[in-house]
Structure 1
Amino acid sequence: MTGSSSADRLRRLRWVLTALFTVMNAVGLIGFAWFEIGRDGERAVARTDAELHRVTSSISRLVGFDGTIDLSLVTADVLNESCPQFAILPGGAPAFKAHVSRHVCVPMDIGVLNGMATEAVRTGRTAVGYQRGVHGELVRVRVEPLLDRTGRNYIGAVVAVADTRPEQERHDQLVLLVCAGCLLLIGGLGVAGYLLSGRAIRPAAAALQQQEILLAETAHDLRTPVAALRALAETALAHPTERADLLPRTVRLAARMGGIIDDLLVRARLAAGVEQLTIQPVWLDQLVAGVVDGSPTEGAQVTVTAAPTKVDADPALLQRAIGNLLDNAVRYGRQPGSAAIVHITVAGGTVTVADHGPGIDPAAAGEAFDRFSSTGGSSGLGLSIVRWVAEAHGGRLSVYNADEGGAIFELTLPVSGR
């Protein structure tokens, strides 16, 4: 049974974070939308009731009573021609002829309205509620009892009726707009959550990628020297008389493996941001001369032409970068059967290392130095370290082939202003 890879787990984590972000925000958004829809419904009822109250209170003041009902002011008022419609009904009080406003906004059964008026007269209380029109329309009704001038006897009731369909249609449109807006916002939240979660796990993904690259490079770069070291050991066991000759080769091979491991560790620390640069003014010409004097050249002919140049750099990392360029040129910058010839030039913050080897692959020359390959078989890890050091100092590493043959590497660093 095989478990999922770290990359798969990171992808699942991204989707989980996206889902959590979207769901949490969607719950809050839906709750707010639900609250606002409810508030809008309440406001719609309140607006309708306010209109009904305006009609019943106004009509109540216009009704005259001096032993008989006087509706002359009512019939002359503009409310008699507009909505909401109303009716003045006896409701079981001393009988008088009912009055219904001229403009019919919604057909109503007068018997239903009179029944509500009768209840209001009996209880002496204003009543508000819903009823159905003749054709089943839902209407809002307000019944307000009428008092005579003494304020002790009820003489009838004013019943105002408002059609709820306009407010309901407006409310339904709002609900549709809110629902559509919520869907769009939730979709946007999902996209935003996906992008934000990707940004959140990007450092982990980058670290994982660097780890995978480091492991791959470790296996690649150590495979050949380990095999060679094993072959030397087996030869020494099988032929004891040759041990004296094999021992120096074994030591050099072990030193090479140590250098590969050191380069891998430096690159890993640079990639992880653990390596802290100690920037200070450095005489580049003197540093290069010191590296050349302290490096084994294995019989190679190395010449240095340098002009005094001061750069701002970390001396330890810069020494490693120069050493890697020199080691690459000495190891791979030679023709078969001959010693390497290397020319190093230092001027204006640039270190140029030229060799007389087979050159580099033109297809690889334009690529980054993540894994650089030369025709001589270089693993390119040392050049990768050089590239990392250059970029860490704000410089660059360039490579191209010379017209007369061989590879040329240029390491450019910022010139010190001090």
Structure 2
Amino acid sequence: MTRLFGSVRARATLGASLVVALALVAAGAAVLLSLRTNLTGQADGRADSAAREVASQLATGRAYDDLDLPDGEDAPVQVVDEDGKLVAASEDLERISGTGTDAVKPGAAAAKPSGGEEEGEDDSEGGDGTASAENSDAAEAAERGEIDGDAEYTGGSATVDGESADYRFAAVEVSTEDKGDLTVYAGGSLSDEQSAVSTALTSMLIGFPLLLGVVAGVTWLVTRRALRPVAAITAEMSAITASEDLARRVPEPDTHDEIARLARTTNETLTALETSVERQRRFVADASHELRSPIASLRTQLEVGAAHPELLDVDGAVEDTVRLQRLAADLLLLARLDAGEKPGEARVDLAAFVREELSQRTRDRVDVHTDLTSVEIAGSRGQLARVLGNLLNNAQRHAVSRVTVTTRADGAWAVLEVSDDGSGVPPGERERIFERFVRLDDARTRDEGGAGLGLAIARDVAARHGGTLGVGEAPSGGALFELRLPVPQTSAD
């Protein structure tokens, strides 16, 4: 189970199904509520209409026994007087609840005469037809009443002729002169509402699971199709890992979605990794080659000295040892830079720094001229000293008679320039000379020109300090190396 729901496809399917299920439940509840409210309103309307029809008859003075009541099954009716006694009810009404009284049969005392006694009294008082007509009109006017415009609604049930059902009852009040205040209760059947709601609920209970099944199936298939490139990428990455062949690439889909960007990013990462590994391989090979020469020379001298002490070249052995020491130091620094060693944050005055470093150089072949302007930088003093030393050594090897060191500020940058009056660097070679173990064809011999690591180290150190190192042409025609380092921001008081 854990493995199943660990799949993106399974989680997407489950999530989509849950969202649709919640939406369907909310929509179904809203539909049922709206349907029930609408049909209940219709039942209220039917109940109100039936109650007002009976109330109109009572308002005109009609006797209880002469009321024309609706069919009991359609609209059970009760008429209750102001004392709460039942005075009229639908025929065949056997049980009722939700109205003003549970009584279903009006009492004998509640029944009122139909007006015969009043008519007899009228006949004795008048002998002509005109008087009788006037008395009749007066009696009818006296019996007319008022019907309340507002009705109250309640829910209940009733049994009519053995059939029980739920109803909505409307209570309408009517005031009469001869009968007093009466309340008419009339019911509107809820059978249509119950039938419609039951049908809708049954349809939902059947349809919703089917719809959820369709949604889950479609989501599963669509997600499977969408994730198919991911499976291909995963398989290819597994093959690359097993074969250790970094030249292989994962397939890139023709889409423009996140998976395509993932594939492109993966291939870019593989390209960078392949370049890095190849660079390390070349570095190891070149380092081995560079180390082999002085080690072999030193061993030869020591073996000759061991066999013939008088032939031992002590000075040559010392030079080879120094060369080995410098090469080992360069390789160690490159390894630290490749490992991401961060420079320090020490503040250094560039002009004073250059003067101090130049004062320690005693074996320069040509004179070094300076044009120094104070500007502050931040970084590792030891690494910056290595940069300056490598640039000066390179200039000394190629200069004819002059090397110039200049410092200045250029906006947010501190600039250090080292130039010579030698033959310069051809434009096509100005980037290649910063590669590791690279020496130009017209460079000095291996002993004089070094291992080809100085400029590579200088550029790496510059990059670690957030700066740049480039080469151009000096005014004298030689090479001009320009080191740019950011000026540290001063914190506001």
Structures share fold, TM-score greater than 0.5: yes
In structure 2, relative to structure 1, the CA distance for the partners of 1:216 and 1:60 (3 Å cut) is: same
**Aligned residue type for 1:289:** R
Aligned length: 323
Specify the alignment match of 1:258 in structure 2.
Answer: 328
Shift of 1:40: 1.4
Given that 1:360 and 1:373 are in contact with CA atoms closer than 8 Å, whether structure 2 keeps it comes out as no
The percentage of aligned residue pairs carrying the same residue is 19
Change (3 A) 1:371 1:401: farther
The answer on 1:347 being equivalent to 2:446 is no
Partner residue, 1:307: 372
| Kept after mapping to 2: 8 A contact 1:372/1:378 | no
Structure 2 match to 1:280: 347
Is the 2:391–2:455 Cα contact (8 Å) retained in structure 1? yes
Q: Aligned partners of 1:359, 1:311: CA distance in 2, in Å?
A: 30
Query: Any stretches of 5+ residues in structure 2 without a counterpart?
Result: 1-5, 52-66, 76-91, 95-158, 173-182, 231-256, 306-310, 409-413, 444-448
Paired AA for residue 224 in structure 1: H
Contact kept, 8 Å, 1:372 with 1:383, in 2: the verdict is: no
Shift of 1:30: 4.7
Checking the alignment, whether the CA contact within 8 Å between 2:424 and 2:479 is kept in structure 1 is: yes
Paired residue for 2:454, among 364, 371, 382? Answer: 382
User: What TM-score comes out, normalization by structure 2 length?
Assistant: 0.48
Separation in 2 of the partners of 1:157 and 1:351?
96
> 1:326-375 CA deviation, whole Å, 9 max, x = no partner?
233345x36xxxxx755132232432222355543523536895659552
- Out of 137, 159, 168, the position equivalent to 2:192 is 159
Per-residue CA deviation, residues 261-299 of structure 1 (Å, 9 max, x unaligned), is: 232144235xx2x424233142x33322332343575x6
The yes-or-no answer on 1:247 pairing with 2:234 is no
2:284: which partner in 1? 219
Match of 1:407 in 2: 479
Retained in 2: the 8 A contact 1:295–1:323?
A: no
Report the CA distance shift for 1:63/1:357 in structure 2 as closer, same or farther (over 3 A).
same
Question: Which structure 1 segments of 5+ residues have no match?
Answer: 1-18, 74-91, 95-118, 127-143, 335-339
Q: Which amino acid aligns with 2:404?
A: I
User: Structure 1's 31 and 400: CA in aligned 2 closer, same or farther, altered over 3 A?
Assistant: same
Match of 1:317 in 2: 383
Alignment check: 8 A CA contact 1:351 1:411 kept: yes
Q: Deviations over 1:84-135 (max 9, x none)?
A: xxxxxxxx999xxxxxxxxxxxxxxxxxxxxxxxx99856244xxxxxxxxx
Letter in 2 for 1:343: V
> Structure 2: how far apart are the matches of 1:370 and 1:39?
68
1:122-158 Cα deviation digits (max 9, x unpaired)? 56244xxxxxxxxxxxxxxxxx599999999999875
Q: Which amino acid aligns with 1:398?
A: G
The alpha-carbon distance between structure 1 residues 158 and 207, as it changes in their structure 2 partners (threshold 3 A), is closer
What is the 5 A alignment of 1:136-147?
A: 144=167
C-alpha spacing 1:21/1:394, structure 2 compared with 1 (3 Å): farther
What per-residue deviation string (whole Å, max 9, x for no partner) do you get for residues 187-233 of structure 1? Answer: 89x9669979999x9xx999978974773464155133212024214
Give the deviation of 1:36 after TM superposition: 2.0
Alignment partner of 1:344: what SS? strand
- Aligned partner of 1:69 among 68, 71, 74: 71
The Cα of 1:69 is off from its aligned counterpart by 3.1
Is this contact kept in 2: 1:302–1:341, CA < 8 A?
Answer: yes
CA–CA distance in structure 2, aligned partners of residues 300 and 325 of structure 1: 14
Provide the rounded CA distance (Å) in 1 between the counterparts of 2:301 and 2:161: 123
State how far apart, in whole Å, the 2-side matches of 1:153 and 1:120 are.
13
- Over 3 Å counting, the alpha-carbon distance change for 1:52 and 1:152 in structure 2 is closer
Q: Distance in 1 between matches of 2:9 and 2:260?
A: 9
Cα distance, 1:253 vs structure 2: 2.2
Q: Distance in 1 between matches of 2:161 and 2:396?
A: 115
Deviation of the 1:391 alpha carbon: 4.3
- Give how far 1:66 is off: 3.8
Separation in 2 of the partners of 1:378 and 1:329?
Answer: 13
Matches within 5 A, 1:82-161: 124-126=164-166, 144=167, 159=192
Aligned to 1:54, the other structure's residue is in SS state helix
- The structural deviation recorded for 1:416 is 8.1
CA deviation digits over 1:296-346, x for unaligned, max 9? 75x632413233423223332321221121233345x36xxxxx7551322
Q: 2:358 maps to what in 1? A: 292
Structure 1 position 401, deviation (Å):
3.3
CA apart distance, 1:54 = 1.8
Alpha-carbon distance between aligned partners in 2 of 1:66 and 1:258, rounded to the nearest angstrom: 121
Residue 235 (structure 1) shift: 2.4
Taking a change above 3 Å as real, the CA distance of residues 318 and 209 of structure 1, as seen in their structure-2 partners, is farther
Deviations 1:368-407 (A, max 9, x none): 9565955238876433433344345454322113476532
